[in-house]
Amino acid sequence: MSKKGKRPLHWRIMAGMVLGLIGGYVLLQIPGGKAFTYDWISPVGIIFVRLLKMIAIPLILASLVKGVSDLHDISAFKRIGVRTILIYIGTTALAVSIGLASVNLLRPGEGIPQETVRKLENQYAGNKKLRTKISKAHEHKHRPKLQFLIDMVPDNIVKAMSNNTLMLQVIFFAIFLGIGLILIPEHQARPLKDLFDSLNEVVLKMVDLIMLTAPYAVFALIAGVVVNTSGDVEIMWSLLRYAFTVIIGLALMLAIYMILIAVFAKKNPFWFFKQIAPAQLLAFSSSSSAATLPVTMERVEEHVGVDKQVAGFVLPVGATVNMDGTSLYQAVAAVFILQVLWPQGLGFSNQMTVILTALLASIGAAAVPGAGMIMLVIVLEALGFPASKMPLALALIFAIDRPLDMLRTVINVTGDATVATIVAKSVGKLHEPYPKEWDDYLKP
Ligand code: ASP
């Protein structure tokens, strides 16, 4: 129990999840239960996610500007930046390879009857959501190869801050501003540094306040997901082997993070998971690493002890570009689809193409629910998969995508937190944790 006599936050969130699962199931059985959830329960979850998204940009801006400007020397920042990017690429390549190995070994695509394929096609291939995903994927094609660099540089910082999908542009601006602050005289830099320092502190306090409602919000989010789960049980069963393959891969990734934490950060991995548990649970409930970001930052800075110079850079960048769970899922899903619909098999060079495109596609995927599926289209096209069959391909995995999205988002968030901790340790910026309660400074 915590000092306020309450159970630790992660237990309360977990209780909310279990009750949400039960509540959602009960509501599904009651006539009008679905409409009731839509009208009265889901909004609680939506408001909670909005609150978190609302503070994401001020938090990134404040912690990054403060972090960079405190460095005194630009080469220290270069060191953190280069290490972060290299480890991100390394863990993502590892995740894709694990995905590929599991799908090649377990071969979940074999033994799916043609009748099931036809059923899935009838049920989902015309689905509007699915068609939108395909056309969104096509927007990513026919762009210059260096488009990702262009996309990082804002042409208007106010516009960038008004759109959560442009987080990388805000990061770019914040780093630039931080570097500028290092290069001007201290007495002129001080007021702005103090302002961002204060903003950082107050936004972290807002995270504490928002998290007070997390157990209720998680109840609403999970109940909403359960009530909206459609599809017949038989189809779900036939996709179980595929889901199992993704889950095995994700579990292996979790084990790898544990090893990395033990070896490189010299911390007990179970202690580490306990510190970041609220962020993981929230990632699961919201399926969005962007919405979870403020909580990830609060947990990693205050409860793990990562200096904000490191957390402020590594975590926002990770939320947008480092998605180990998504890239692993893309590798499994792409090969699964080919096993079912394209029996000629995948040669070595095709497997390499999967590794490369899944890596790039996960970098390009937005940190929101279902984004991984959009980028899957790009992986399939790179393998020469016919565009005419794309709706059928996505129809195969659509029924079970949401639960897998919830799980892969947990891995995405855990991966970011792991890398932040390792990088902090490697540059001597992993300190004693200093957990704060929302009412620490409230006079009794
Ligand atoms: N939902 C994932 C995330 O936000 C992205 C995805 O795989 O769809 O991290």
> 58 in ligand 1 pocket by Cβ < 6 Å?
no
Cα–Cα distance, 114 to 397 (Å, whole number): 15
Q: Which of 272, 306, 256 is CA-nearest to residue 425?
A: 306
Q: Which of 94, 130, 117 is CA-nearest to residue 331?
A: 94
Residue 364 CA, ligand 1 centroid: distance in Å: 11
The residue whose CA is least distant from atom 7 of ligand 1 is: 372
Q: Averaged over 19-40, what is the pLDDT? A: 94
Residue 373 CA, ligand 1 centroid: distance in Å: 9
| Predicted pLDDT of residue 308 | 85
> 322 in ligand 1 pocket by Cβ < 6 Å?
no
> 405 in ligand 1 pocket by Cβ < 6 Å?
yes
> 365 in ligand 1 pocket by Cβ < 6 Å?
yes
Cα–Cα distance, 382 to 380 (Å, whole number): 5
Exposed, middle or buried: residue 133 (CB in 10 Å: 0-12, 13-18, 19+)? Answer: buried
More confident site: 48 or 133: 48
- Asked if pLDDT for residue 189 goes beyond 50, the answer is yes
Residue 290 CA, ligand 1 centroid: distance in Å: 9
According to DSSP, the residues that pair with 118 across neighbouring strands are none
Cα–Cα distance, 202 to 192 (Å, whole number): 15
408 CA closest ligand 1 atom index: 7
The dihedral of CA 109, 115, 116, 120: what is its sign? Answer: positive
> 374 in ligand 1 pocket by Cβ < 6 Å?
no
Residue 405 CA, ligand 1 centroid: distance in Å: 6
Token pair for 441: 């400074």
Mean pLDDT for the chain overall: 89
> 275 in ligand 1 pocket by Cβ < 6 Å?
no
- Asked if pLDDT for residue 306 goes beyond 50, the answer is yes
365 CA closest ligand 1 atom index: 5
| Predicted pLDDT of residue 5 | 59
Q: 111: left (phi > 0), else alpha (psi -120 to 50), else beta? A: left
Helices (H), 212-347: 214-227, 233-238, 240-264, 269-286, 289-298, 308-321, 324-341
325 CA closest ligand 1 atom index: 7
Q: What is the band of 27 on the pLDDT scale with cuts at 50, 70, 90?
A: very high
Residue 428 CA, ligand 1 centroid: distance in Å: 31
Find where tokens 């939320």 sit: 319
**Weakest-pLDDT range from 93-102, 183-192, 193-202, 365-374:** 365-374
366 CA closest ligand 1 atom index: 5
> 286 in ligand 1 pocket by Cβ < 6 Å?
no
Whether the Cβ atoms of residue 48 and residue 220 lie closer than 8 Å to each other: yes
Cα–Cα distance, 318 to 85 (Å, whole number): 9
Residue 436 CA, ligand 1 centroid: distance in Å: 29
The residue whose CA is least distant from atom 6 of ligand 1 is: 372
Cα–Cα distance, 275 to 278 (Å, whole number): 8
- Asked if pLDDT for residue 324 goes beyond 80, the answer is yes
Residue 241 CA, ligand 1 centroid: distance in Å: 21
> 371 in ligand 1 pocket by Cβ < 6 Å?
yes
| Predicted pLDDT of residue 4 | 54
For the stretch 31-65, pLDDT in tens is: 999 999 999 999 999 999 999 999 999 999 998 89
> 289 in ligand 1 pocket by Cβ < 6 Å?
yes
371 CA closest ligand 1 atom index: 8
Q: Averaged over 180-188, what is the pLDDT? A: 93
DSSP class of residue 153 equals S
Type of residue at 4: K
Within 8 A by CB and 6+ apart from 387, the residues are 381
> 326 in ligand 1 pocket by Cβ < 6 Å?
yes
The dihedral of CA 340, 344, 348, 352: what is its sign? Answer: negative
Q: Averaged over 338-347, what is the pLDDT? A: 79
Residue 310 CA, ligand 1 centroid: distance in Å: 23
| Predicted pLDDT of residue 1 | 46
Could you give the angle at the alpha carbon of 284 between the alpha carbons of 283 and 288, nearest 5°? 45
409 CA closest ligand 1 atom index: 9
Q: Per residue in 183-221, is it b (16+ CB within 10 Å) or e — as a string?
A: eeeeeebeebbeebbebbeebbbbbbebbeebbbbbbbb
Cα–Cα distance, 180 to 92 (Å, whole number): 32
> 409 in ligand 1 pocket by Cβ < 6 Å?
yes
Which of 24-38, 54-68, 118-132, 246-260 shows the highest mean pLDDT?
246-260
> 368 in ligand 1 pocket by Cβ < 6 Å?
yes
Within 8 A by CB and 6+ apart from 318, the residues are 84, 88, 415, 416, 419, 420
Residue 323 CA, ligand 1 centroid: distance in Å: 8
DSSP characters over 78-142: HHHHHHHHHHHHHHHHHHHHHHHHHHHHH-TTTT--HHHHHHHHHHHTT-HHHHHHHHHHHHTSS
Residue 250 CA, ligand 1 centroid: distance in Å: 13
Whether the Cβ atoms of residue 64 and residue 178 lie closer than 8 Å to each other: yes
| Predicted pLDDT of residue 129 | 74
Domains and CATH numbers, the chain: 9-72+80-426 (1.10.3860.10)
CB atoms within 10 A of CB 232: 10
- Asked if pLDDT for residue 272 goes beyond 60, the answer is yes
Find where tokens 């309660």 sit: 437
